[in-house]
Structure 1
Amino acid sequence: MPKKLKYQMVIQWSEDDDCFLVGFPDFPGQQWRTHSDTYQDALNNGIEALESLVAAYQATGEPLIETLEELQIVANLWIETAEKHGRKLPDADLAIAKVKLLSQ
């Protein structure tokens, strides 16, 4: 059975860019991989970007990065930031479940 790999996805509101930025700290390179005006779209874009990163590593034969920590999503910060801007976030558990599903 293949080993399950889990990666961190960081979604952070950027005042400067006026959007949510998405990054993967476990992968080297640029800090932010994608973005969106809404949290839900940022999450969806992040999942797509992560799938592309994993596919690129596999296509080149480069070993995938293994993390020592479980998936970490700083839901309270996202909720606080979104509420500060009058935005409603989807249920944090749903976001965590979607990203965990991707890593299976």
Structure 2
Amino acid sequence: MTALLPIVEELADAADHHTRAQWLLAVPLTIIVRDHLTIRRLLTAAGFHEGLSYLEAEIAALSATRGRDGLAPITIRTTREYARIGVQIIARGCALEGESQA
């Protein structure tokens, strides 16, 4: 028996970066906040550097003091979007490669 939530176990059981990227894009942000240390450990062990960048950007955005407009500073928002794009490319690119091989 493990202390991980079933949704975090999905990340632990992921076989490749494609699956990890899909998981990161789909997991509720509350899980990222709650289990970010475990998620960081799993991504580090897998050598998924793009996923780590995305995780750190999400944590920074969720932790940032917001301005009068209710938004995090533009530097944090931009970093978050670039990190998200990197993970999206991995999530989509691998899927397209898999489709062409079938």
TM over 0.5: no
Question: Hey, which of these two has a bigger chunk of strand by percent?
Answer: 1
Task: Give the alignment's TM-score, normalised by structure 1.
Answer: 0.31
Question: Hey, which of these two has a bigger chunk of helix by percent?
Answer: 2
